[in-house]
Amino acid sequence: MEQTAQQPPMEPHAELSAPWDEFLTRCQRSVEDVHTLEVRGTLTKLTGLVLEAVGIRVPVGAQCLVRQHNQPPVLAEVVGFSGERAFLMPAGDVHGLSSGASVRAAPPFISVPRFGVPSDNSAARPILTMHGTLRLPLGNGLLGRVVDAQGNPMDYRGPLEHVTALPLDRVPINAMDRAPVREILDTGIRAINAMLTVGRGQRLGLFAGSGVGKSVLLGMMARYTKADVIVVGLIGERGREVKEFIEDILGVEGRARAAVVAAPADASPLLRLQGAAYATAIAEHFRDEGQHVLLLMDSLTRYAMAQREIALAIGEPPATKGYPPSCFTRLPQLVERSGNGLHGVGSITAFYTVLAEGDDQQDPVADAARAILDGHFVLSRTLAESGHFPAIDIERSASRVMHNVVTREHFEMARRFRAIYSRYEKGRDLIQIGAYVPGSDPQLDEAIALQDSMRAFLQQDMFEASTLEDSLVGMAAVLGGSL
């Protein structure tokens, strides 16, 4: 007769001890790889924006703390080196520092385990505990919040919750692993949906001078674009515009699904660079979770200017209009991080504003950005001064993926609309001085007859949304046909 195997008796309170065992294991894992040996250097020179230190060997990009006796530490990042000298760019005020101040690598981030709180699968990802590694909060807790370039809340709504501190550096995605842009993204803006159709995962530039409505256009995109998450990077703009953009332009509806990173003009060049990288990392985090992200960065020019300040400060020679070569290297490295995710899972559709100095579209940054982006929207000062908003110049603007995402009928209708609109612009001078005789040019006669309805179609109130379907129906009605 077979005997039934008996289970060993369960130890008393085993169910209660299991959570404690798991908690203690996570505590041990969080500190087991921390280096205990600390190397310190000495501050030897401060010239302009650059600190020089000797006696410390840390990689480029590492975070360091510069500490003077009886002074709060100053956070700085290693931006270069020469022999035994390390060049650091401070992230804060250097007032009070003097020669001989101690320089050490910033301590590693160690997330404090809490009993009863899941570890967010931290055991499944590598624990980076190397000194100097920059880690900033990423996660769903950033939605609806406004943070600075170092991940500190700026909105007085308490500390961040439901976030995980992760490094900003990411391994670039293999170009062959990205899905091509094949799906239309509805921006809610009639002129863009109809004439400059955007694809999900596309990267575009808003080229404009100051005061032509680019911030309002970004706010319209944030409110009306069909995206799961919106990430806004306000880089190098006036501090006054930060709150105005969030409260007046972004609005309650747009802010609820948005994460805002602000590094205003008075922030150090290091923080402006870091703010752009942080906003991009937030967008990448949500994209990796399979969500469709809209990234709005204002502006790419301020990012390039921050890199120029750092590069010139450490001795890099200027190349084009004062911009050193490293500026034009950093731009594609930042822009290429957006786009479709691995094997079509998740996407980042990015809009970068580019400030054209004096409305000069041949500005070095504007010219470089146009070459690395998938399209450009030019905002015209002439249109803005005449009360035409959004002031998108459809003749000078282009979406390089439009032909891949729209139907042939849509593409042909947009081409005909553009041709008629352009024909009127070429004959504008003759019409205004009364030199044109009606009937002498049938194409110009058609353009004159449709001009008012075309301009009305391209204009849109900032609180008005227009879906893709409505935009196509409206364009067909202007041209006298049907979709």
93-145, pLDDT tens digit by residue?
Answer: 888 888 999 999 887 555 555 555 554 443 333 333 455 678 889 999 999 99
Do 432 and 361 share a structural domain?
Answer: no
The residue ranking higher by pLDDT, 18 or 33, is 18
Domain boundary (355, 379, 406) is at 406
Instruction: Give the chain's domain count.
Output: 3
Between residues 120 and 220, the one the model is more confident about: 220
Quick one: average pLDDT of 142-158?
92
pLDDT above 90 as % of the chain: 55
pLDDT for 241 equals 81
Q: Are residues 331 and 354 in the same domain?
A: yes
Is the same domain home to 82 and 171?
A: no
In this structure, the answer to whether residues 467 and 385 fall within a common structural domain is: no
CATH number of 60's domain = 2.40.10.170
Q: Which of 359, 380, 406 is the last residue of a domain?
A: 406
Q: What is the CATH number of the domain that holds 191?
A: 3.40.50.12240
- Both 209 and 342 in a single domain? yes
pTM of the complete model: 0.85
Q: What confidence score (pLDDT) does residue 115 get?
A: 56
Residue range 20-39: average pLDDT?
Answer: 63
Looking at residue 460, its amino acid is Q
- State yes or no: pLDDT of 183 exceeds 90: yes
Do residues 433 and 378 both lie within one domain? no
Q: Is 302 within a domain? A: yes
Looking up residue 459, the CATH number of its domain turns out to be 1.20.1270.330
Q: What is the SS3 string spanning the chain?
A: CCCCCCCCCCCCCHHHHHHHHHHHHHHHHHHCCCCCCCCEEEEEEEECCEEEEECCCCCCCCEEEEECCCCCCEEEEEEEEECCEEEEEECCCCCCCCCCCEEEECCCCCCCCCCCCCCCCHHHCCCCCCCCCCEEEECHHHCCCEEECCCCECCCCCCCCCCEEEECCCCCCCHHHECCCCCEECCCCHHHHHHCCEECCCEEEEEECCCCCHHHHHHHHHHHCCCCEEEEEEECCCHHHHHHHHHHHHHHHHHHCEEEEEECCCCCHHHHHHHHHHHHHHHHHHHHCCCEEEEEEECHHHHHHHHHHHHHHCCCCCCECCECHHHHHHHHHHHCCCEECECCCCEEEEEEEEECHHHCCCCHHHHHHHHHCCEEEEECHHHHHCCCCCCECCCCCEECCHHHHCCHHHHHHHHHHHHHHHHHHHCHHHHHCCCCCCCCCHHHHHHHHHHHHHHHHHCCCCCCCCCHHHHHHHHHHHCCCCC
Q: Are residues 76 and 217 in the same domain?
A: no
What pLDDT sits at residue 120?
Answer: 47
Output 375 or 14, whichever has higher pLDDT. 375
Q: Output the average pLDDT for the chain.
A: 86
Mention every residue, 6+ apart, whose C-beta is less than 8 A from residue 295.
230, 231, 233, 279, 280, 283, 338, 348, 349, 350, 351
Residues 433 and 316 in one domain: no
pLDDT score of 329: 93
Residue 23 belongs to some domain of the structure: no
Q: In this predicted model, what pLDDT tens digit does every residue of 261-307 receive, in sequence order?
A: 999 998 999 999 999 999 999 999 999 999 999 999 998 999 999 99
For residues 45 and 173, state if they share a domain: no
* CA neighbor of 452 nearest in space, from 473, 424, 430, 481: 424
pLDDT at residue 399, rounded to an integer: 96
- pLDDT score, position 175: 87
CA 132, 134, 136: angle at the middle one, nearest 5?
150
Shared domain check, 55 and 97 = yes
Joined tokens for residue 266: 């008075």
Does some domain include residue 146? no
If asked whether residues 363 and 264 sit together in one domain, one would say: yes
Domain with 423 in it: 411-479
Q: Specify the range with the lowest mean pLDDT, choosing from 26-30, 205-209, 367-371, 474-478.
A: 26-30
Is 454 contained in some domain?
A: yes
In a domain, 172, yes or no: yes
78-98 per-position pLDDT tens digit: 999 998 999 999 988 888 888
Q: What's phi and psi for 63, nearest 5 deg?
A: -95, 135
Is 112 within the bounds of a domain? Answer: no
